[in-house]
Chains A and B, each alone.
Chain A
């Protein structure tokens, strides 16, 4: 028996994908905030990529100054609400909490952050008003957390901002790429609307910037351009059979799930290829979609997985089986996938070596490849003098080798968390303001 039944309604889907960091109630927030030691030069602040003054906002919650708490959070991070839910707090702020050294449960910082910001959003407390228009215009490519954060920073200083979004919905990874048990679409969109009302940036949907012509138009019409396109589609493994039916990229299937929830059909026997956090998400989600048999296959050992320990624990917890030191050789099937052929591996001097003669076949009816993502060469190639290394655009303090272009988020760092993108966007915004001689 699988842990979850296949969801057939939105309610059943939500039950299967129940929030792992649910909203605190007032009493819970009061009790939890009471535990904070208010450390000097607190390690949680240092561990937060956006350096939120965490002890301060926790104390503000404790004294029922929720508006003050939300302001403390938003002043450092425009995605204060989303980050409270989707940040890997276990390895960031909560991982740094000194209580860990005392074998006491660390403060639930993420949930407290979400508590304060949720209330500010619900009450529509406005912290920011854009400065008077200064005549400068910026274009932002991609409405992910980096792009939105950059837009907020620019709008605050009175720059006109247009965001070009290829898809029909905003916020990039936050809506399309996060496991549904970490945050709901509604929460993400509410925070976006909250920001948009305060800062007044435009998002132009269904408008991918791809061709030389697109790029030329932007350069003509805007004083600065921010690239926040994130990472691209799932990259190929280069093994036979990847084109068979029911072989999906992890990024694509997660996005599909975020959009169409219970209507997405999963198999009865799913193999997820990869050992990163996206692979863990894809495996967890398969199990929660009612798949009774999910195997996570990784070509190296368990210890070598890139995924956070707690992400693997989450997957294991919903019944995902780990298969380690198994490299895929071929995806088998006629039109539709029926099995994956693997070979056993071992690690020698840090390199994965196949063990000859150890091939074996594992049956399945669905394969999810979480094996890295491509870049956006189609765009990068059309921008003059852009220094690109693989999927990453090189920059100095967010400014690329083409001085009019700035960059942040996954296409700068190669792929990290929402919180890193939010930080990049904000600070790229500051760099643009300095480039435009504003303030």
Chain B
């Protein structure tokens, strides 16, 4: 069997699946339960001066019959006294010495940082995560994302922590910033041992249009929250990729954002994450989902011949390039499998109204199966994405596979369109219906 254990910046864990710092890690009780179910590590709900929270605290984005596709919260850091948390950290480590317990921290002054770092080390934490990401409430007080959005301050605070830290320090980054590389480099400059990302995205999940208030409702008012859940995964994957691609960055990355199953976890690892952290999926389904994550992840490793997680880290990175380095000669077109087609015509209307008018309908109205107009097809994928039938529309390669030419190369060769009516534009010669054909039925 493949080996799932990891050593993340010096933090040892039986598997790369950690609970993110959030409500599921609010107490020793929850974390012991999670470890018992199979989670490798847990990042404790952020410690600091205990807060006072509001009610309610969570909002959800439901898509059709899928609940909590997106999720946000306006909950702050721990509201429990530090002493209680420290005592519970000690107890968890006593029962689960091989699992990773990481203390998430958020305080203000240098003295407070020094004190709390020593406190959690004494309690037996295996590592520390600096919460520079929380985009609601705490940022109004100069903490959380307010730090993460200012690389200079971030670097300074990391350096304070490193003055005393004896255990590995992970810097958790906020996605509420234009260039994620800047705080990542600041974390490194400050001496941090690893980064984790993403924290939640500033959000309003929706409105109660009857009361004119946003969700979640706190006595007729609301505030922006932090967005997470499956909906944010694409944003998180991209940011993990951006950090992993920083030349000579070399710090381990803990990937966070919408991980719900083994596939999500594999994706984060292939883009450069050494561990993945999970919160929303546990808030939705409980700690038991770890069974599915471990089982699928392990089977994937077997199928692909990976023996360790390390072998997987960043394996997809070389293939994800800047746009200018993509092959302009690659040409695919859609192909509809008539035997599988159920005649919903979603591909037709999607292409007709939403793309390139490259799908036609039969003249015989009884035949509901659309056909591809190959010369109009730009190979955009849209039809295959809207098709509700598995493998009914496939994209078939049409170029020889021998030619390779990128925008970058064309630029070097001085062979790119440069004026507004340049005949080298990609759409020149491509069929576009005349505007009035759109209302032909009315003109008749």
Chain A residues within CB distance 8 Å of chain B? 30-31, 34-35, 37-41, 43, 62, 98-99, 101-102
Query: A98 and B64: CB pair below 8 A?
Result: no
A-B contact pairs, 9 of them (CB 8 A): A35-B65, A39-B346, A40-B344, A40-B346, A40-B348, A62-B64, A98-B343, A101-B342, A102-B388
Query: A34 and B344: CB pair below 8 A?
Result: no
Residue of B nearest to A102 (CB): B342
CB neighbours of B346 from chain A (8 A): 37-40
Report how far A62 CA is from B63 CA in the complex, Å.
Answer: 10
Q: How many A-B residue pairs have CB under 8 A?
A: 33
Query: A43 and B65: CB pair below 8 A?
Result: no
Query: Given contacts A98-B342, A98-B344, A99-B342, are A43 and B64 in contact (CB under 8 A)?
Result: no
Binary flags per residue of B335-371, CB closer than 8 Å to A gives 1, else 0: 0000001111110110000000000000000001000
CB neighbours of B51 from chain A (8 A): none
Interface of A: prevailing SS: helix
Residue of B nearest to A30 (CB): B65
CB neighbours of B345 from chain A (8 A): 39-41
Query: A102 and B65: CB pair below 8 A?
Result: no
A37 → chain B, closest Cβ, in Å?
Answer: 5
The verdict on B389 contacting chain A, using a C-beta distance below 8 Å, is yes
Query: B368 and A43: CB pair below 8 A?
Result: yes
Task: Tell me which of A31, A37, A62 contacts B344 (CB under 8 A).
Answer: A37
Query: B389 and A102: CB pair below 8 A?
Result: yes
A145 → chain B, closest Cβ, in Å?
Answer: 29
CB neighbours of B349 from chain A (8 A): 40
Extra contacts, 11 of them, besides A37-B346, A62-B64, A101-B342 (Cβ < 8 A), are A39-B343, A39-B346, A40-B344, A40-B346, A40-B349, A41-B345, A43-B343, A98-B342, A98-B343, A101-B341, A102-B388
Among A34, A39, A40, A99, chain B packs the most CB atoms within 10 A around the CB of A40
Report how far A40 CA is from B346 CA in the complex, Å.
Answer: 6
Report how far A41 CA is from B406 CA in the complex, Å.
Answer: 41
Residue of A nearest to B64 (CB): A34
Query: B64 and A37: CB pair below 8 A?
Result: no
A412 → chain B, closest Cβ, in Å?
Answer: 26
Report how far A30 CA is from B346 CA in the complex, Å.
Answer: 21
* CB within 8 Å of A: which B396-443 residues: none
Report how far A35 CA is from B388 CA in the complex, Å.
Answer: 11
CB neighbours of A30 from chain B (8 A): 65
CB neighbours of B368 from chain A (8 A): 43, 98
CB neighbours of A31 from chain B (8 A): 65
B382 → chain A, closest Cβ, in Å?
Answer: 14
Residue of A nearest to B63 (CB): A34
CB neighbours of B65 from chain A (8 A): 30-31, 34-35
Report how far A33 CA is from B220 CA in the complex, Å.
Answer: 31
Report how far A39 CA is from B347 CA in the complex, Å.
Answer: 9
Report how far A38 CA is from B353 CA in the complex, Å.
Answer: 15
A109 → chain B, closest Cβ, in Å?
Answer: 15
Report how far A230 CA is from B396 CA in the complex, Å.
Answer: 58
Residue of A nearest to B392 (CB): A102
Report how far A99 CA is from B342 CA in the complex, Å.
Answer: 7
Interface of B: prevailing SS: loop
B353 → chain A, closest Cβ, in Å?
Answer: 9
Task: Tell me which of A34, A62, A101 contacts B343 (CB under 8 A).
Answer: A101
Report how far A38 CA is from B64 CA in the complex, Å.
Answer: 13
Report how far A99 CA is from B343 CA in the complex, Å.
Answer: 9
Residue of B nearest to A31 (CB): B65
Report how far A101 CA is from B387 CA in the complex, Å.
Answer: 14
Report how far A35 CA is from B389 CA in the complex, Å.
Answer: 13
CB neighbours of B341 from chain A (8 A): 101
CB neighbours of A98 from chain B (8 A): 342-344, 368
Report how far A102 CA is from B391 CA in the complex, Å.
Answer: 12
Binary flags per residue of B36-70, CB closer than 8 Å to A gives 1, else 0: 00000000000000000000000000001100000
Report how far A147 CA is from B389 CA in the complex, Å.
Answer: 44
Report how far A354 CA is from B17 CA in the complex, Å.
Answer: 78
Residue of B nearest to A99 (CB): B342
Among A30, A35, A37, A39, chain B packs the most CB atoms within 10 A around the CB of A39
CB neighbours of A101 from chain B (8 A): 341-343
Among B341, B342, B389, chain A packs the most CB atoms within 10 A around the CB of B342
Report how far A101 CA is from B392 CA in the complex, Å.
Answer: 13
Report how far A102 CA is from B348 CA in the complex, Å.
Answer: 18
Report how far A31 CA is from B63 CA in the complex, Å.
Answer: 11
Report how far A37 CA is from B368 CA in the complex, Å.
Answer: 15
A13 → chain B, closest Cβ, in Å?
Answer: 36
Binary flags per residue of B54-89, CB closer than 8 Å to A gives 1, else 0: 000000000011000000000000000000000000
Query: Given contacts A43-B368, A98-B342, A102-B342, are A37 and B388 in contact (CB under 8 A)?
Result: yes
B184 → chain A, closest Cβ, in Å?
Answer: 40
Report how far A59 CA is from B388 CA in the complex, Å.
Answer: 17
CB neighbours of B64 from chain A (8 A): 34, 62
CB neighbours of A37 from chain B (8 A): 344, 346, 388
A12 → chain B, closest Cβ, in Å?
Answer: 37
CB neighbours of A35 from chain B (8 A): 65
6 tightest Cβ-Cβ pairs between the two chains A and B: A34-B64, A34-B65, A40-B345, A101-B342, A40-B349, A98-B342
Report how far A99 CA is from B368 CA in the complex, Å.
Answer: 13
CB neighbours of B343 from chain A (8 A): 39, 43, 98, 101
CB neighbours of A34 from chain B (8 A): 64-65
Binary flags per residue of B377-395, CB closer than 8 Å to A gives 1, else 0: 0000000000011000000
Report how far A76 CA is from B388 CA in the complex, Å.
Answer: 29
Residue of B nearest to A63 (CB): B64
B34 → chain A, closest Cβ, in Å?
Answer: 31
A98 → chain B, closest Cβ, in Å?
Answer: 4
A435 → chain B, closest Cβ, in Å?
Answer: 27
CB neighbours of A99 from chain B (8 A): 342
A27 → chain B, closest Cβ, in Å?
Answer: 9
A18 → chain B, closest Cβ, in Å?
Answer: 27
Report how far A101 CA is from B348 CA in the complex, Å.
Answer: 18
CB neighbours of A43 from chain B (8 A): 343, 368
Binary flags per residue of B94-118, CB closer than 8 Å to A gives 1, else 0: 0000000000000000000000000
Report how far A34 CA is from B65 CA in the complex, Å.
Answer: 6
CB neighbours of B388 from chain A (8 A): 37, 102
Report how far A273 CA is from B345 CA in the complex, Å.
Answer: 45
Report how far A37 CA is from B64 CA in the complex, Å.
Answer: 12
CB neighbours of A41 from chain B (8 A): 345
Report how far A37 CA is from B348 CA in the complex, Å.
Answer: 13
* CB within 8 Å of A: which B176-221 residues: none
Report how far A98 CA is from B64 CA in the complex, Å.
Answer: 20
CB neighbours of B348 from chain A (8 A): 40
Report how far A40 CA is from B342 CA in the complex, Å.
Answer: 12
Residue of A nearest to B388 (CB): A37
* CB within 8 Å of A: which B307-354 residues: 341-346, 348-349
Residue of B nearest to A101 (CB): B342
A380 → chain B, closest Cβ, in Å?
Answer: 37
Report how far A101 CA is from B339 CA in the complex, Å.
Answer: 10
Report how far A43 CA is from B205 CA in the complex, Å.
Answer: 36
B388 → chain A, closest Cβ, in Å?
Answer: 6
Report how far A144 CA is from B290 CA in the complex, Å.
Answer: 61
Residue of A nearest to B341 (CB): A101
CB neighbours of A62 from chain B (8 A): 64
Report how far A30 CA is from B345 CA in the complex, Å.
Answer: 23
